Structures are given as structure tokens and as C-alpha cells.
Structure 1
Amino acid sequence: MAGFILMAGCSTPVQERKVSKSGFLKNYSQLKSGKDGEVQLLYINPRANFAKYQKVMLEPVQMRVKEDSKLAKVPKAEKKELVNYLATTLREQLKSDYIFVSKPGPDVMRLRVAITDGKKGKVVMNTVSTIIPISLAVDLVKYAATGTHMAVGEASIEAEGLNSASGVRLFAAVDARSGRKSLMSGNFTKWGDVEDAYNYCAKQLHIRLAELSTK
């Protein structure tokens, strides 16, 4: 029964219990632990008027990983694909509410985003540990202890929005997500869980900015 529930469950990425700071953001002191449903570390400028920002200047997505990260050992071509995927996903999510521009201005939000860690999923092992009872039991023990499932992909992202003219920070966020044990998830490709995490984060950014714009 537990296996059936997991296989039929939602493929929303799991928020990891710990997150590290990469140095991509210049100032982490403003960030506080997020509430339920929010990113792990979050800052929202209480004085910012989000409604006035109708345009976005999206900087090239960066890959900011430490030397001991598994993502650091990934071939350059695959790193480039991940960067391009996240950039495309961000544009797709935000284009309905924002005009993308290349120059700063008082009504332009400068959006900085970086991939700060991650790893690909182990497709065969992931599938086995999802459907075989013994492997599933081992996975549940691992998840209870660490908050992360066996053989899934993982992704960490840092982002901030700035007033492009003044440089005043509007928001900043740090989050880490991993794959969920579900046959509905993207775990049949090695980067599927990572792409799911990127999709989720981009969508949540869009939703949160829309909420802030109405306040």
C-alpha cells in the first residue's frame, strides 16, 4: 500500500532539510528561514513596491558550484544545458506578466539567478527502489533519516531581485530540492528530477511575485 501511494503521488520536488550558501549572493545576513511552503532562506524588502515593476532584466543564469560538488564534475556541455534550461523556464514563467529588457530603469527588476549545486538521478536504481518492496523500505528509512530519497536528482538555486537603477534589493532566496519517489516524476531521465526542480522554482517565483504585486 505504501508503494502504491508513493507511485501515484504528486511529483512536486521535495524540499531538502539543509541548504548551503555558495557566495553568489553578496549579502546573506538579511535572509531568514522560510515558513511552510516557502523557500529555505528568504528575504522580502518590506518597503518595496513590487507593483511598479513591469519589466525584468534577466542576467545570464550562472553556474556557481564548489569544487567538491558532484555538479562540478559534470561535462561542460551538460552544465550548459542545465543553465539554458533554467533560463528558458524562468522566461516562460514570467513572460505573461513582465516585459524582458536588456537595459536598467526605475521600473525594471534586475533578476540574478545561479545554480549552486545538484546531481543527476540514477535512473535504474531510482526505478528499482520505487517499485520493489525491500528497496522501497530501505528508501523510506533513508528519507526519514535525511529527508532525501535514494538515487534521485537534486538541485540548489540562489536568486535575488534588485531595482536595476538603484541596486536596492527587493528579494533574495536560497532553496534546495530533490526528486520525489513517484512514477509520475521525471526520474526516468538522469536530469529529470533536476528539471522538475527548476520548473517548480520558476513557477513559485512567478506566483510569489504576483502575490507581492497585489499588496
Structure 2
Amino acid sequence: MKLPKTILVLTFISTAAGCATSEPVAYEGLASAAQLRPDTSDKTGRSPYSYRTQTDWRQYNKVIVEPVTVYRGKDGQFGKMAEDDRFKLASYMQGKFAQVLQQRYAVVSAPGPATLRVRATLTGGKTTDPVLGPLSHIDVAGGVYNTVQSARGKEGSMTGSASYAVEVYDSVSNQLLLAYVEKQYPNALNIGANFAPMKASYVAIDKGANDLLARLR
């Protein structure tokens, strides 16, 4: 017996909401964990904890991008993401962050004047369900749910994501200038990001790299 369409829609939305991953936390294994505080200015829910000093970012024109590490703390949020996928995502993050930061900074390898040091840590990730991910973005019920989520700037149904922490230091003094934890994911209406298990996580990293560059203003 077929269920009425209204029941199918409500069932789908309930399932999608129940599958949403948790928001990032102030991961206790981070060097900046003691400095991170709830960020009341974040209205998106993607970056609930941060730390920032009064910094004139214009005084910096070079950056060291440290190798991205995979977080090993018990409060990590990788769920069922395979170990190999975690390392691949961290490697991609390393290259993408360096590529985007190069738009404004010379990427260097040694500390020096006017040089920032960026440390990024991949703290969590979620792959897209290979069946429900694509289906939920072409199905009528999924379209309704994801349209609402897109308007709210929230996570789409059955889609992947990436969570990470960024710590930015003065390379000479080692003073912590900026730190935050963040979760990124594709726009809920980005259908193309849901047709491969890891695609959404890579899109999330792309967004995260651009977000970092915007913060260094």
C-alpha cells in the first residue's frame, strides 16, 4: 500500500533532521582550546567557538601553511568516515588553503617578519550517503526540505560535511592571533555535491579556505 505523499514528505524530513551531524565543539586537544570562547556574533551555527586579538592584518604579507593534521582527540567528529578518506581530505585541505591564501600572501616555509603561521586541523567529517544523498536532492520531498534549509543557510539532507579548527600565529613571536572551529557544507540546493561520497566534504573545504581568507581582514 502506498503511503500518502504528505506522510512521505513528513517521514523524509524527520529522517533527514535526525541524521544531521552535531555542531563543532571547542575540541579539548587543540593548542587553543583554553582560549576558545562561544562566538555570539556567529549567526550561522557553523563557527560557534572562536578567539581573536586586535590585529592589523595589513602588516602581514607572507604566510606559512603548516601540514594539516587529522585530529585524534576523543571528541573528534568523524563518525563512519574511513581513515583513508580522512587523510585524503586533510591533504586536499592543505593544498586548498595554501592556494587560496596565495591570493593575498606569499607562501613561505620559514618564520620571519610580516609572516603569519596557519595551523589547520581536520576535526571531523561526514560522507554523503551514496543512495539517499542524490535521491534526497531530486525527490519532491527532499526538494522541499532542502529549499527551506538553503534559505536558512543550513545543512542539506543526507549530505557530507567537514569540521576543522584553524589557529593563526605570528611566526616570530608565536602569539596566537586568531583561532576558531568551524563546520562547512555545500549549499543545501547544490545537487552536484551529492553524487559522490566525498564530494560534499571537498566542497566544504573550498568554502572553508575562502572563509579563512575573509577573516584575515
Q: Shorter-chain TM-score: which interval? A: 0.7 to 0.9
Normalised to the residue count of structure 2, the TM-score between the two structures is 0.75
On the 8 A contact 1:152/1:180 being kept in 2, the answer is: no
Match of 2:174 in 1: 167
Could you tell me the TM-score, scaled by structure 1's length? Answer: 0.76
Q: For residues 138 and 94 of structure 1, what CA distance do their matches in structure 2 show?
A: 35
The AA in structure 1 aligned to 2:25 is: S
- Alignment partner, residue 207 of structure 1: 214
What's the RMSD between the two structures over aligned residues? Answer: 3.0
What's the counterpart of residue 6 of structure 1?
none
Code of the aligned partner of 2:37:
L
| Higher relative contact order (Cα pairs below 8 Å, separated by 6+ residues) | 1
**1:83-98 → structure 2 map (5 Å cutoff):** 83-98=90-105
Q: 2:140 aligns with which of 133, 137, 155?
A: 133
In the TM superposition, 1:55-134 aligns within 5 A as: 55-66=62-73, 71=78, 74-134=81-141
Aligned pair partner of 2:49 in 28, 33, 41: 41
Q: 1:42 to 1:69 in 2, by over 3 A?
A: closer
SS, match of residue 158 in structure 1:
strand
1:90-141 Cα deviation digits (max 9, x unpaired): 0111112111111112311010100001111113211212222345567789
Distance 1:129 1:54, change over 3 A: same
Q: One-letter code of the match for 1:193?
A: A
Distance 2:51 2:189 in 1: 32
Give the match's secondary structure for 2:113: coil
SS in 2 for 1:123: coil
Percent of residue pairs identical:
23
Q: 2:200 aligns with which of 169, 182, 193?
A: 193
User: Deviation of residue 180 (structure 1)?
Assistant: 3.8
Specify the alignment match of 2:4 in structure 1.
none
Partner of 2:30: 24
The one-letter code sitting in structure 2 at the alignment partner of 1:63 is V
For residues 133 and 114 of structure 1, the distance between their equivalents in structure 2, rounded to whole angstroms, comes to 37
1:138-177 per-residue CA deviation (whole Å, 9 max, x = no partner) reads 778999xxx6443211211100110111111111111112
Aligned residues: 192
In structure 2, stretches of 5+ residues that fail to align are 1-20
